[in-house]
Structure 1
Amino acid sequence: MTQLDQTEDQAPSTAASDRDLPENLSATEPTADHMPIGGGLPIIQYWAQKTLSPQGPQIWQTLFHKSACLSCAWGTGGQNGGFINELEEPLQRCMKSVQAISSELQPGLGDHFFARHTISELQALTSREADRLGRLSFPVIRRAGSDHYEPIAWEEIYQLTTAGFSLPPERVASYSSGRSSNEAAFLLQLMVRALGSNNLADCSDLCHAPSTVSLNKVFGTGTSLVSLESLRQADCVVLVGSNAPANHPRLMNELIELRDRGGKVLVINPVREVGLAKFGSPAHPLRLVQGQDIASMFLQPIPGSDLALFVGIQKVLLERGWVQFDYLKAHTENWQAVIDQVAAADWESIIATCGLTLTEIIAAAEMIHSSQNVVFAWAMGITHQANSVDNIYSIANTALMTGNVGKPGAGLMPIRGHSNVQGFGSMGVTAHLKDSIREALEKLLGKSLKRESGYDARALIEASDRGEVDTLLCLGGNLYAANPDLTQAKRALGNIDTIIYLATKPNQGHFHGLAQQNTIIVPVYARFENPHKTTVESGNNFVRLNSPGKTHLTKGDLVTEIDFLAELAHRIHGEDPIQWRRLHDTRYVRQLIAQAIPGYEKIGEIDDTSAEFTISGRIFLEPKFPTPSGKAEMQPTPLPDLTLPTLQDFGLPNTQPSAMVLALITGRSYGQHNTVVYKEADEYRGMPHRHCILMNPSDAERSGFAQHQRVSVRGDAGQLDNIEIIFGEVRSGAALMFYPEANVLMKARIEKRAGTPAYKRVPVAVFLH
């Protein structure tokens, strides 16, 4: 591991002491043998190791703090306690929450750190090493031509940032992640739109936009149609393209309880993830060691072929007379065109496209048909495809054909990632603003706003690569590492004159995503440290209230995101069209949100009532939808062409021995949150480090490869060498490598309607170098 200064300012933390361990292991990482179940005793061991460490009292204090979890959007915490969910149930925390909290509780960087270490040194750090440096505790700048960050005064930061945002509005932009609050999100978009710019890129553009686009088209709403309470009434969950045991562990409690009450879980995933087969949860201690069976049926389609599978399920429903035609006629539009397309689809094409047998497809259809209340849930295995919008249309069509939308215990449930990524969309942080919000903002600002869409995340990179962006403010996130084609991302960001990063900790983007003139890092408080109340939104449309807190960085020179944005907005806009400095008061911000954001009216009273709430108009318990017709608008879904290129297309002879072309899935490890890596090894998949490729043993053996052999992997944008082959339960023709390291391989293949790249089906050549 690269040896840099240990963090200073506080007593040594667990994170600091872990730095002396070997690169591929931490104190709780076993060897790379496959784990027999997901979860189980390793969770208890990890909790014990963290909470009984010298850092333990701080971790426990934060766990009980009344603020929403820093990890996924499942949405624990809030005004009724840090362990409480929206149904007032206790003990709702997971290992990912502890990982995130422990990382934020690291000591602050010493004031000599950046003087001692060049940017060239820092660029050699892995994601885990960058995160382990500690907390950002004072503002710094990297000026043009310098190989060092250096301290900067707050007044100069505001001067440089104000000058940057005084340029023509089409040349300024923002990027954000879901780590922040609704109040900061609302203020960010208000400030940028008041300039006359809609360049409000967001991390959801790279992950969840297809869900928003497709659900809005079919149902008139872009979020989950299912509440947690409604999920409890389902007797079947269809879980597609999700590694919930790693990314949303508390969802596993819902699946365990569904199985306990006799329900069924249909899992669709090209990788047979251990935790989706069997999971041991501390919330069910009697089965913690042995685990609970999760998947009633596990289907492993070809990556990118989920649509073909759902068309096959629909064809079985049609051929067996199981389609609910009365429901379709009463509650949907365009149903006949969809039925005609399904009838015309031939079984040979469906089976060839998805790679499953007719028997498997029939069994899946029978499971859905025999269930009373079905929830269809999906994550980025669906949205990270070149045909992701059509994928979700096909899921929606299946739900509608079986009458499983608009009643308790049924519906569509996209599983969001970052803890407030959905809240940012609700607040209007999007390049494509809804007319209703735009009209409300125009009334608030007293002026017309630009109608044309701005840059989403991919369009922002492309525009920057063309030299068309001068100023960028990043509210959290890691725009560099989250993008495909890291070479392009680095070049594009390097064309921007001024970049301002608001962050709690260093990440690779701060060292590789350097602006042409000024790169500024502004240290901000973590959610549980903010001295004012804030709110966030869960993936099931529930708004949580975070209590004020305080930081352990007693010697730090930090700022809240709200205070930074309010001061910047004042310097840009003055007192017109609103008194921007009043927005330092988050209560006032919430009153503005109540006026501008449909469904958020109750947030204007939350300071007085402390009443958290479900956003109105999103959960459907009857089949009436906010579309022009009041009906769901079904969409035809053409089968995708999933032809892979040849070795020759990668510059290799088609006759080359020990070489093959695969459909690569890029994914997170079990010890990872977004681009932040907490653990190098992934014991669940048997991958001892992050430079591995998980392959089907029969694929490898047919091409002359052996377990643990080192190979090269080449995509259309780059190549990685010395990659270790690990045999695993991935379907034939597919493979898995870790994101974001594998992003260097791929150019961005974009779903044009959503702007989202196809990270989950990347054609690559694997060969001996």
Structure 2
Amino acid sequence: MSEQKIEFYDGPAGGWAALKSVARHLNEQGVAVKGAKTLLHANQADGFDCPGCAWPDRDHRSTFEFCENGAKAVAAEATARRATPEVIGARTLAEWAEASDHELEATGRLTEPMVYDPEADRYRRTTWDEAFALIARELQALADPNQAIFYTSGRTSNEAAFLYQLFVRQFGTNNFPDCSNMCHEPSGSGLRPTIGVGKGTVTLQDFEQADCVLVFGQNPGTNHPRMLGELRAARKRGARIVSFNPLRERGLERFADPQDKLEMLTFGSAAISSHYFQVKVGGDFALLKGMCKRVVELDDEARREGRAPVLDAAFIAEHTCGFDAFAAELREQAWEPLAEASGLSRAQIEQAADLYVASERVIACWGMGITQHRHSVKTIQMIVNLLLLRGNLGRPGAGACPVRGHSNVQGDRTMGIYEKPAPAFLDRLGEVFGFEPPREPGVDTIGAIQAMLDGRAKVFIAMGGNFAAATPDTAATWRALRRCELTVHITTKFNRSHVVHGRQALVLPVLGRTEIDVQAGAPQGVTVEDSMSMVHLSTGMNAPASEHLLSEPMVVARMAVATLGDGRTPWLQLAGDYAAIRDRIEAVLPDFAGFNDKVSRPGGFRLRNTASERAWATPSGKAEFSTHALPTDGATERAAERRRDVRVFTLTTLRSHDQYNTTIYGLDDRYRGVYGHRRVVFIHAADLADLGMKAGDWVDVTSLHAGTDGGELQERRAERFLLVEYDIPRGCLASYFPETNALVPLESFALGARTPTSKAIPVVLSPHGAA
């Protein structure tokens, strides 16, 4: 375990420190040689897709297509450690509940199916046949198929996801909460009505042509390290990289590319951001509206003076609707509220807009710093507005780029993992497989938790992920899971969700992305879709961690056979030949025509994106400007109005550098200078002084939820956090999840997307242990 210390990090992101970290993690997992060989097959034409983030692969022929956090994910999957039934059964679940998330992860790969023994309060070995029989009994005993919840993680392959949604819909429900509900749901909800697709419009080739990249609410140095290579290359050829983020993040400042031999030999690095604006937490909507206002004002001024227009008038006239109303509202908007809400001065907002105007080809990227807010959908639509003003959609070097997290979270949605499926998709699914799919919308993640709490849902089945740790309002979520008759987790590693279980519980181990998958005597490959709609093949190369592991498609097929019988769908035949699954996908989804042929080519293929072709699949047939007033119902302001006796801050949750989603690889956060700690709160020095506190003090954090209906103020508490002085806007705090998920109310979510507001939590600080 690392020494506990806080130590400023002044090096670049990447570089030798990243390689040293990779070597350390490979050694810790006992796979130094095997892991190094495995990494050389990551993101290769004949290799496996990295089980980490969804950033696209630049070159499937490179011998070095992985990043530090991808290497940690590979090392964790290829680990020599084994979480056998004897290892897990050596402790009661009450004892495992006291372990940290890092300790749970460190047990290693699960090797055999396990069932909960309530008398012993332990997991014990079971057989696959017994496990599937238990699942079938509980599902068949339900009075209504909607009493079952089927969760999906972003690591699930296209083939497994397609079979999963087919099984569940044949069972009779659309209850498909998934990890999109907790991260990028607002991206789809914001983009779909404005440009006609719920995905980003750019490719990696657009990054080669852009002369400006805007980065909103994102820390690629930790969350998508390979993205830094594209930003570095763009900056080196003269493009502006303009970053908007509350914290000063090292990965947005400097980067040393481990693939650049000269840079590594000379200990050099490259600047990333040409301009850095520290918007306050939750201030992005006001910033973006201010930028749009400035662009319109510059155009008005240019026209008055007879100069060339600033707006792309031809594009606006031919391809958009709603501009006149949008521009009129901007002209009426006062500057002072925009500056106050953004945390920037008017001059800074104007400078950012001027950089945009001075650029011909602009890409706008964003992450969960944008999506996990109450008004995230409106904020994303304001990003679209900004791009539309100068025609920066549907042409080379320009467009929208939501940077998604887990490796196939976008592909899962494409495959039909969605609680509100399109009627056309259901029509075709029913035609191909000869059944009538359910039409009633299912529950999302928030709805699933509420249904379990209310007793409306009795069975919870998770295809991967760590639901108990990833979700908001930890106490409520755990109560919900414990009310279930049966919880089932299909997974590779032991985690928090396996400790928070129903009356009956199963843990079912499956093959990992790096492992050889042989079905019916033939090796199989699965497919994934990255953030830029590229679909490619992934083939494992390591021997399975245990002879008892099944593939995810086979687990789904055997659940289906046990629950539904053979019926009209040849479940086991499909699970024995993934090419046959892809044939069925092609039959249901027109964009996958020629699927098996296309995916056999190195690099795969790109799904059609109508917005990138300037074909707008909206009711009007055009891209839509969205007019939104500046929100005045801020959660922090509401809480402060109710609690005038204390200083109310806005807390944003984030990942450490030794973390991916809820998977904790270690206890260090190198770029932020935190070692051996996870329970920390980052705070501005002046705010520390105002509180009469100092860095190194221990505090408790209490969230204050004041609903818009004026009801009773709700408080949630998380205890014992270390104060760390950091470069963050005044009035803002930051801390890691899942430790702070307990502070996020279940009732606080994005309007129009229901994503938890984990990036904007009103909180107060108090000395730890104070009455």
Percent of aligned positions that are identical: 30
Residues 414-450 of structure 1, C-alpha deviations (whole Å, 9 max, x = no match): 0010011111011010101123322210111223222
**1:51 to partner: Cα distance:** 5.4
1:112 partner SS: helix
Determine the structure 1 residue equivalent to 2:604: 613
Which letter does structure 1 place at the counterpart of 2:15?
A: G
Q: Does 1:195 align with 2:157?
A: no
**1:460 to partner: Cα distance:** 0.4
Indicate conservation of the 8 Å contact 2:655/2:661, yes or no. Answer: yes
Determine the structure 2 residue equivalent to 1:82: none
Q: Does 1:423 align with 2:404?
A: no
Which of 574, 585, 588 is 1:583 aligned to? 574
Residues 280-337 of structure 1, C-alpha deviations (whole Å, 9 max, x = no match): 2212344443421111111111211211111100111111102223221110112222
The more displaced of 477-486 and 105-114 is 105-114
Which letter does structure 2 place at the counterpart of 1:162?
A: A
Determine the structure 2 residue equivalent to 1:527: 513
Q: Does 1:767 align with 2:755?
A: no
TM-score using structure 1 length: 0.91
> Distance between the aligned counterparts of 1:275 and 1:301, measured in 2?
17
Indicate conservation of the 8 Å contact 2:291/2:352, yes or no. Answer: yes
Q: Does 1:69 align with 2:61?
A: no
Residues 250-290 of structure 1, C-alpha deviations (whole Å, 9 max, x = no match): 10000000011100011001111122111222123444434
Cα gap change, 1:225 to 1:88, in 2 (>3 Å): farther
> Distance between the aligned counterparts of 1:231 and 1:619, measured in 2?
19
**1:87 to partner: Cα distance:** 6.5
Indicate conservation of the 8 Å contact 2:682/2:733, yes or no. Answer: yes
1:232 partner SS: helix
Indicate conservation of the 8 Å contact 2:40/2:63, yes or no. Answer: no
**1:60 to partner: Cα distance:** 2.3
**1:34 to partner: Cα distance:** 2.8
Determine the structure 1 residue equivalent to 2:205: 229
Residues 569-617 of structure 1, C-alpha deviations (whole Å, 9 max, x = no match): 122222323222222121110101111124222324357x445433332
2:636 partner SS: coil
> Distance between the aligned counterparts of 1:528 and 1:648, measured in 2?
50
Determine the structure 2 residue equivalent to 1:292: 270
Indicate conservation of the 8 Å contact 2:197/2:611, yes or no. Answer: no
**1:626 to partner: Cα distance:** 2.3
Indicate conservation of the 8 Å contact 2:40/2:64, yes or no. Answer: no
> Distance between the aligned counterparts of 2:277 and 2:433, measured in 1?
52
Cα gap change, 1:87 to 1:135, in 2 (>3 Å): closer
Residues 314-365 of structure 1, C-alpha deviations (whole Å, 9 max, x = no match): 1111111022232211101122222122112111111111111111011101
1:707 partner SS: coil
Q: Does 1:255 align with 2:243?
A: no
Determine the structure 1 residue equivalent to 2:651: 664
1:496 partner SS: coil
Which letter does structure 2 place at the counterpart of 1:692?
A: V
> Distance between the aligned counterparts of 2:280 and 2:170, measured in 1?
46
Which letter does structure 2 place at the counterpart of 1:232?
A: E
Determine the structure 1 residue equivalent to 2:726: 728
Cα gap change, 1:667 to 1:101, in 2 (>3 Å): same
1:473 partner SS: strand
Determine the structure 1 residue equivalent to 2:242: 266
> Distance between the aligned counterparts of 1:31 and 1:743, measured in 2?
23
Which of 94, 98, 123 is 2:71 aligned to? 98
Cα gap change, 1:539 to 1:648, in 2 (>3 Å): closer
The more displaced of 47-56 and 33-42 is 47-56
Indicate conservation of the 8 Å contact 1:240/1:381, yes or no. Answer: yes
Q: Does 1:639 align with 2:626?
A: no
The more displaced of 501-510 and 574-583 is 574-583
The more displaced of 56-65 and 695-704 is 56-65
Q: Does 1:310 align with 2:288?
A: yes
Indicate conservation of the 8 Å contact 1:237/1:375, yes or no. Answer: yes
Which letter does structure 2 place at the counterpart of 1:736?
A: A
Which of 11, 18, 22 is 1:43 aligned to? 18
Which of 110, 116, 122 is 2:90 aligned to? 116
> Distance between the aligned counterparts of 1:428 and 1:56, measured in 2?
39
TM-score using structure 2 length: 0.91
1:684 partner SS: helix
Determine the structure 2 residue equivalent to 1:18: none
> Distance between the aligned counterparts of 2:511 and 2:435, measured in 1?
33
> Distance between the aligned counterparts of 2:145 and 2:582, measured in 1?
26
Cα gap change, 1:619 to 1:64, in 2 (>3 Å): farther
1:636 partner SS: coil
Determine the structure 2 residue equivalent to 1:484: 472
Indicate conservation of the 8 Å contact 2:284/2:370, yes or no. Answer: yes
**1:185 to partner: Cα distance:** 0.4
Q: How does 1:153-172 map to 2 (within 5 A)?
A: 153-166=127-140, 167=142, 168-172=144-148
Which letter does structure 1 place at the counterpart of 2:584?
A: L
Indicate conservation of the 8 Å contact 1:136/1:523, yes or no. Answer: yes
Q: Does 1:475 align with 2:466?
A: no
**1:619 to partner: Cα distance:** 6.4
Indicate conservation of the 8 Å contact 1:480/1:509, yes or no. Answer: yes
Residues 65-105 of structure 1, C-alpha deviations (whole Å, 9 max, x = no match): 301001100134xxxxxxxx356555221111110111112
1:741 partner SS: coil
**1:108 to partner: Cα distance:** 1.3
Cα gap change, 1:462 to 1:404, in 2 (>3 Å): same
**1:660 to partner: Cα distance:** 2.5
Cα gap change, 1:664 to 1:39, in 2 (>3 Å): same
Determine the structure 1 residue equivalent to 2:302: none
Which letter does structure 1 place at the counterpart of 2:659?
A: Q
Determine the structure 1 residue equivalent to 2:303: none
Determine the structure 1 residue equivalent to 2:710: none
> Distance between the aligned counterparts of 1:61 and 1:646, measured in 2?
54
Cα gap change, 1:143 to 1:648, in 2 (>3 Å): farther
Residues 615-649 of structure 1, C-alpha deviations (whole Å, 9 max, x = no match): 33216554222223331122112212236258888
Determine the structure 2 residue equivalent to 1:33: 8
Which of 573, 580, 603 is 2:595 aligned to? 603
**1:111 to partner: Cα distance:** 3.8
How many residue pairs get aligned? The number is: 727
**1:664 to partner: Cα distance:** 0.1
> Distance between the aligned counterparts of 1:245 and 1:436, measured in 2?
40
Cα gap change, 1:75 to 1:163, in 2 (>3 Å): farther
Determine the structure 2 residue equivalent to 1:570: 561
> Distance between the aligned counterparts of 1:551 and 1:31, measured in 2?
40
Determine the structure 1 residue equivalent to 2:740: 742
> Distance between the aligned counterparts of 1:51 and 1:519, measured in 2?
32
**1:453 to partner: Cα distance:** 1.2
Indicate conservation of the 8 Å contact 1:68/1:75, yes or no. Answer: no
> Distance between the aligned counterparts of 1:221 and 1:88, measured in 2?
31
Indicate conservation of the 8 Å contact 2:77/2:514, yes or no. Answer: no
Which letter does structure 2 place at the counterpart of 1:522?
A: L
> Distance between the aligned counterparts of 1:569 and 1:295, measured in 2?
51
Indicate conservation of the 8 Å contact 2:195/2:611, yes or no. Answer: no
1:73 partner SS: coil
> Distance between the aligned counterparts of 1:732 and 1:315, measured in 2?
26
Determine the structure 2 residue equivalent to 1:682: 669
Residues 130-185 of structure 1, C-alpha deviations (whole Å, 9 max, x = no match): 11011111111114454211111222111111122222211112001111211000
Cα gap change, 1:647 to 1:533, in 2 (>3 Å): closer
**1:57 to partner: Cα distance:** 2.0
The more displaced of 110-119 and 129-138 is 110-119
> Distance between the aligned counterparts of 2:764 and 2:742, measured in 1?
14
1:694 partner SS: strand
Indicate conservation of the 8 Å contact 2:197/2:610, yes or no. Answer: no
